[in-house]
């Protein structure tokens, strides 16, 4: 995380490299009201963002990596192997314990591929969307039918 000038100045004052008077003179023209400070602290945590706001947007750089492509191919091959073994075993009436192993390995491989995809390939993009209010039509008294048994 990059540090700003004020935080660096505070660390220098704490270590004794810069005196308090020098730090005050360096920050002499800076003006920060309490409202601006509180809105900066609360921004994104307590404030309700407007619809359509992009909160964080960055593309994952590892999506084009050769290791991710190889891991995807590895996952596809093993998933086909385990699912094929499961299908062949079901057709030939193999033992349930062996079939459950094949099913578990198929699902585990798919889960690993999903985790890698979500972590390293998907872009990290969050767009705030709010649900619209539902439109409820007025109650039509003649629309209801009374059924008697």
The b-or-e profile of 92-125 (16+ CB within 10 A means b, else e) is eeeeeeebeebbebbeebbeebeebbeeebeeee
Question: Are the C-beta atoms of 103 and 87 separated by less than 8 Å?
Answer: no
Output the six-digit token pair for 51: 């619809």
Instruction: Count the alpha carbons within 13 Å of 123 in the hemisphere toward its beta carbon.
Output: 9
- Whole-number pLDDT of residue 1: 38
- Whole-number pLDDT of residue 78: 97
Q: Which residues of the chain have pLDDT under 70?
A: 1-4, 37-64, 123-138, 140-147, 149
- Whole-number pLDDT of residue 4: 67
Backbone angles phi, psi at 127, to 5 degrees: -115, 125
- Whole-number pLDDT of residue 74: 95
């Amino acid at each position: 995380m990059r540090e700003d000038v004020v935080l660096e100045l505070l660390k220098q004052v704490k270590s004794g490299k810069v005196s308090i008077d020098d730090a005050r003179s360096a920050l002499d023209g800076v003006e920060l009201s309490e409202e601006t400070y509180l809105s900066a602290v609360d921004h994104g945590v307590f404030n309700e963002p407007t619809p359509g706001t992009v909160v964080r947007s960055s593309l994952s750089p590892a999506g084009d990596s050769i290791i991710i492509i190889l891991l995807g191919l590895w996952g596809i091959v093993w998933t086909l192997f385990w699912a094929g073994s499961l299908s062949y075993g079901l057709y030939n009436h193999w033992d349930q314990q062996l079939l459950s192993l094949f099913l578990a390995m198929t699902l585990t491989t798919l889960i690993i591929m999903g985790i890698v995809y979500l972590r390293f390939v998907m872009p990290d993009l969050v767009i705030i969307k709010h649900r619209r209010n539902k439109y409820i039509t007025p109650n039509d008294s003649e629309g209801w039918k009374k059924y008697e048994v």
